[in-house]
Amino acid sequence: MRAMYELDFVPAGFEWIDSSDSEGSTLSFLRWSRDRKQAVLVVCNMTPVSRMGHRLGVPKEGYYQEILNSDAQCYGGSGVGNFGGRQTERASSHRRPFSLSLNLPPLGVCYLKWEETPHG
């Protein structure tokens, strides 16, 4: 994924989604590719409690494919996740026009990939 390395040392490669969720103890951010046609959403749950239906705002509409879930059963986890990914909803959140309803595993991290698709 180009979004994970192309802009490592440039502010344009990083965007906070939510860095102030002290009540839920979650962190979320995006990594962008240079052409902004790829993004990786990283969501961290710092508590031992699953967060089901956790709403996060995202800047781009489309499908966000879950590419890593640290709680997956293949890693010895409980398997709380997003069934391969999530489609955005037209519900604004975190000052962004679209959002995702995610299942966050306890003490876990999820990576979700978005890619721009050609129209037509």
pLDDT tens digits for range 88-119? 999 999 999 999 999 999 999 999 999 998 65
Residue 119, pLDDT score: 57
Amino acid letter, 22 = S
Output the pLDDT for position 1.
86
Q: How far apart are CA 95 and CA 59, in angstroms?
A: 9
pTM of the predicted model as reported, rounded to 2 decimal places: 0.93
Query: How far apart (Å, rounded) are the C-alpha atoms in residues 90 and 102?
Result: 15
pLDDT of residue 117: 81
Angstrom distance (rounded) from CA 117 to CA 119: 6
Question: What's the token pair of residue 39?
Answer: 């993004």
Task: Tell me which residues of the chain have a pLDDT lower than 70.
Answer: 118-120
Q: Is the CB of residue 31 less than 8 Å from the CB of residue 5? A: no
Task: Give me the pLDDT at residue 120, please.
Answer: 44
Instruction: Look up the CATH superfamily of 2-115.
Output: Golgi alpha-mannosidase II (2.60.40.1180)
On the 0-12 / 13-18 / 19+ scale of CB atoms within 10 A, 11 is: exposed
